[in-house]
Structure 1
């Protein structure tokens, strides 16, 4: 999409060029907001912006956004990292400059991630995690690790904390007993998991409430979340934002623990652990 916009740029009238400049300067994120916000950034009217997308052959801005999202989902961050200009190449002493750059990106991304998780957001999430009858967590191919961490720690704080099983028949049995007093915590990052989406949609149909941890690209599950934790784009490292997911999970656990006062349960857990070792 970025290449296509660059190719048509010289043929466009000034107002539409302004829109393309904004899109390319902050691609793809500039395309993921509203049409009015995009037009304001470019200093043009919304009808001017609409004409650009008509010219590009889309049936409106929404269809253009869908194409941008689809293109983003099809690209691997790791592929982008290793094929970008200036990307690391195999060398006998390779890695140090890239590692330093990755460390700076990680530090900056973590700062942005922690700043994005506001106190009201944590309060709302903690209430759901503490008061639900059961809490079920799931994720995609990598974010399942964050879901596993959440449940391992949350199960020490309260009963009824479980991972959503992988097989379809296990997920079906889980859905049988879900209702409005249950909470799903989903970690959903591009490329977004169809299996996660199917389970969440089925759980929501049964009344379960959703806490969603996702990225700045716009998970299709976002409209269904009661609590939406959206990591900023700075959290998108070259491989996967797992460190950021774990950092957010730590904050969720601390907030839930503050509501649960689990000292007695944790003491029992320690005593049982010692008796079994």
Structure 2
């Protein structure tokens, strides 16, 4: 029984170890420009991956579909969801909305998103992300899009307390060229990009990759095009009964990364935080009730 919340990309990633070499080659081809890469005829998809049409048919069945037509119908549904704007998203959930209060419906959706997302994350890849961000030999640059910049700023602010060498990409995207000048080989670029994926974010990632940066991507279940450039990808399910996607699961991952990086660097982080508190005390930044 398949989880109805799983995308086809989720299924492919979960079953890679069960696929033959030809099927893995096909999976890589589909994931390269997902989901559009799977919308051609079975012959076109096979030719693009340089495999046989029976290989396509076998892999589709391994993914739980009765045939190629059912596989493509699922892909088209994902593509429609991927490109939909806020109005279309609201109308989609409103049509079948149950009578329960929005507090309950929204919370249940968020809990389902968290459960599904955590079930899909590879702990080894999560640890690799934290190791990269904690590495004192690397600077960490953080960027987000129109909506996700708030998550990027939240991560950057906390990382600046945890370690030196954290550079947020601030302001409008046309100002990103300046911090790009200082991005060096081996640096880490943390990117946030969810549907509808932004051209400026992709261009930033492309330039960063050309300059030798290691890219960490926070994205949604449909995966931003930036995933093709990323060393590590952390995927969050975002669907809730709203015109907008939810950031709750992404924020959970962000805060967990912060906690993990803090623990990896605790002796240095403790000294850094004590020095910061002393600065706050000297400037009277926080109100004291004594």
TM-score (norm 2): 0.69
- Which position in structure 1 is the counterpart of 2:21? none
User: For residues 265 and 103 of structure 2, what CA distance do their matches in structure 1 show?
Assistant: 40
2:201 to 196, 205, 214: 196
- Which position in structure 2 is the counterpart of 1:39? 61
* Contact 1:186-1:213 at 8 Å conserved across structures: yes
- Which position in structure 2 is the counterpart of 1:13? none
2:7 to 29, 40, 52: 29
Q: In structure 2, do the counterparts of structure 1 residues 78 and 245 end up closer, same or farther at CA, with 3 Å as the change threshold?
A: farther
- Which position in structure 2 is the counterpart of 1:275? 282
Is 1:80 aligned to 2:83, yes or no? no
Give SS of 1:42's match: coil
Q: In structure 2, do the counterparts of structure 1 residues 260 and 140 end up closer, same or farther at CA, with 3 Å as the change threshold?
A: same
1:89-100 aligned at under 5 Å gives the runs 97-100=101-104
User: For residues 117 and 145 of structure 1, what CA distance do their matches in structure 2 show?
Assistant: 23
Is 1:152 aligned to 2:130, yes or no? no
* Contact 1:30-1:38 at 8 Å conserved across structures: no
TM-score (norm 1): 0.72
User: For residues 185 and 31 of structure 1, what CA distance do their matches in structure 2 show?
Assistant: 22
The offset of 1:99, in angstroms, is: 2.4
- Which position in structure 2 is the counterpart of 1:259? 264
Q: 5+ unaligned residues in a row in structure 2: which ranges?
A: 13-26, 28-55, 285-290
Q: Deviations over 1:189-246 (max 9, x none)?
A: 1111111111111011000110111111121111211111122x4x422322211111
Is 1:113 aligned to 2:117, yes or no? yes
Q: 5+ unaligned residues in a row in structure 1: which ranges?
A: 1-21, 54-60, 89-94
CA-based RMSD of the aligned residues comes to: 2.9
Q: In structure 2, do the counterparts of structure 1 residues 103 and 68 end up closer, same or farther at CA, with 3 Å as the change threshold?
A: closer
Q: In structure 2, do the counterparts of structure 1 residues 202 and 70 end up closer, same or farther at CA, with 3 Å as the change threshold?
A: farther
The offset of 1:96, in angstroms, is: 5.9
User: For residues 4 and 115 of structure 2, what CA distance do their matches in structure 1 show?
Assistant: 20
Q: In structure 2, do the counterparts of structure 1 residues 43 and 250 end up closer, same or farther at CA, with 3 Å as the change threshold?
A: same
Q: In structure 2, do the counterparts of structure 1 residues 26 and 99 end up closer, same or farther at CA, with 3 Å as the change threshold?
A: same
Q: Deviations over 1:86-106 (max 9, x none)?
A: 348xxxxxx962221111111
